[in-house]
Amino acid sequence: MAPTVDSPLPTNTATLTSEPEAISLHSSETQQAPIPTHKSAPKKLLAQYEAFLIPALILFLIGNALAFALPSLAFARLEIGVPLCLAFVGIVVYAIGQTGQGWAIKLNLWLIALLAGSLHFQYRQFTPSAQDISRLAPLERAEVMGTLLSQTGPHRGVLEVATLNGQKTSGRIQVSWPAEERGEAVASGTRLLISGSLALPYETQIPGAFNQADYLRNQHITAILKKPLRVIAFETRNEPRFVLQRLTDHFKDKIAQAFAQQLPSPQAEILGGLVLGDKAIPVDKAVKQAFIQTGLVHLLAASGMNVGIIAGAVLWLMTLLKVPYRVRIGVAMGAVAFYSLLTGLPPSIQRASAMLEIALALKLLNRELSPVFLLCVASTLLVGLNPDCIGSIGFQFSVLTTFGLLSMVPPLQEAIGYYITRWLAGIILVPLIAQLWVWPLSVAYFNQFPLHTVPLNIAALAMVTPLTVLGFTAGVLNLIWPMPGGLLSGVALPFLNGLLTLAQWGQAQSWAQWTLASPAPWQIFGLYSILFGLSWLIHQAPQWPKRFKALAVLLPLCVLLTSTWAESQQLNQQTRLALLPLSYRTEAVLVQPAHSHAHVLLAPETLGYFEARALSDYFRHHQITRLDALILLPQANSGPSGSNSWKTALKQTRIDRLITANSRELPPQITARQHYHFPRRGGVLQVKQWQLQGALNQSGQQLHMLENQRCLLAIQSELTSKNPIACGLQLISQRSGTRLIGPVPLQPERFYQLAHEGNTLKIY
Beta-strand relationship, 139-153 and 156-164: antiparallel
Domains of the chain with CATH codes: 133-241 (2.40.50.140), 576-763 (3.60.15)
Could you tell me where the DSSP H helices lie in 17-157? 50-69, 78-96, 102-124
Average pLDDT score, the chain: 76
Amino acid at 526: G
Sign of the Cα torsion 530, 533, 535, 541 reads negative
Tens of pLDDT, residue by residue over 581-621, are: 776 667 788 887 766 677 888 888 778 777 888 888 788 77
- pLDDT, position 721: 44
Per-residue confidence (pLDDT) for residue 61, from 0 to 100? 93
DSSP string, 272-334: HHHHH-TTTS---HHHHHHHHHTT-GGGGS--HHHHHHHHHHHHHHHHHTT--HHHHHHHHHH
Distance CA 51, CA 359 (A): 19
**Percentage of residues in the chain with pLDDT exceeding 70?**
74
**Calpha distance 303→311 (Å, rounded):** 13
565, containing H or E segment: helix 546-572
> Looking at per-residue confidence, does 189 or 537 come out higher?
189
**Length of the chain in terms of residues written:** 764
Measure the CA–CA gap between 510 and 450, rounded to whole angstroms: 9
Q: What is the pLDDT of residue 585?
A: 64
Burial of 340 (C-beta count, 10 Å sphere; 0-12/13-18/19+): buried
Quote the pLDDT of residue 427.
Answer: 84
Please tell me the predicted confidence (pLDDT) of residue 25: 29
Output the pLDDT for position 172: 93
Q: How far apart are CA 608 and CA 399, in angstroms?
A: 38
pLDDT in tens, 206-259: 655 667 888 888 889 999 998 888 888 888 888 888 888 888 888 888 888 888
Contacts for 483 with CB less than 8 Å, ≥ 6 apart: none
- Reported as type and span, the H/E element at residue 162 is strand 156-164
Percentage of residues of the chain with pLDDT beyond 90: 10
- Tens-place pLDDT, residues 343-392: 888 888 888 899 999 999 988 888 888 889 999 999 999 999 999 889 88
At 672-730, the pLDDT tens digits run 777 877 765 567 777 766 677 776 554 555 677 776 666 777 776 544 444 444 566 66
Q: pLDDT at position 27, please?
A: 32
469-488 mean pLDDT: 86
Per the rule left: phi > 0, alpha: psi between -120 and 50, beta: everything else, 441 is: alpha
- Among 663, 686, 688, 660, which residue's Cα sits nearest to residue 675? 660
The pLDDT of residue 758 is above 60: no
**Residue pLDDT, tens place only, 389-443:** 898 888 999 899 999 999 888 888 888 888 888 888 888 888 888 888 988 888 8
Q: HSE, CB side, 13 Å, CA atoms: give it for residue 269.
A: 14
Query: What gap in Å lies between CA 378 and CA 689, rounded to an integer?
Result: 59
Residues 621 and 289: their CA atoms lie apart, in Å, by 8
**pLDDT tens-digit series, residues 122-150:** 888 888 888 899 888 888 889 999 999 88
pLDDT tens digits along 562-588 = 776 676 666 666 677 777 777 666 778
Is the model's pLDDT at 41 over the cut of 50?
no
Phi and psi angles of residue 400, each rounded to the nearest 5 degrees, phi first: -65, -45
Annotate 410-452 with three-state secondary structure: HHHHHHHHHHHCHHHHHHHHHHHHHHHHHHHHHHHHHCEEECC
Dihedral Cα 567, 572, 573, 577, nearest 10 deg: 110
Alpha helices, DSSP H only, in 97-219? 102-124, 179-182, 212-217
User: For residue 755, which of 526, 559, 571, 485 has the smallest C-alpha distance?
Assistant: 571
Give the angle 16-18-22 at the CA atoms, nearest 5°: 120
Cα–Cα distances in angstroms (integers) from residue 646 to residues 206, 610, 638, 639, in the given order: 17, 11, 15, 14
Q: Residue 534's pLDDT is what? A: 82
Contact 591, 575 (CB under 8 A): yes
pLDDT for 161 equals 93
pLDDT of residue 188: 84
Q: What is residue 224's predicted lDDT score, i.e. its pLDDT? A: 92
pTM of the model: 0.76
pLDDT of residue 756: 53
| CA distances in angstroms from 606 to 588, 624, 646, 670, listed in the order given | 11, 21, 8, 12
Give the E-state strand segments of 566-619 in sequence order: 576-581, 587-592, 600-604
Query: What pLDDT was estimated at residue 183?
Result: 45
Q: What's the confidence (pLDDT) of residue 761?
A: 59
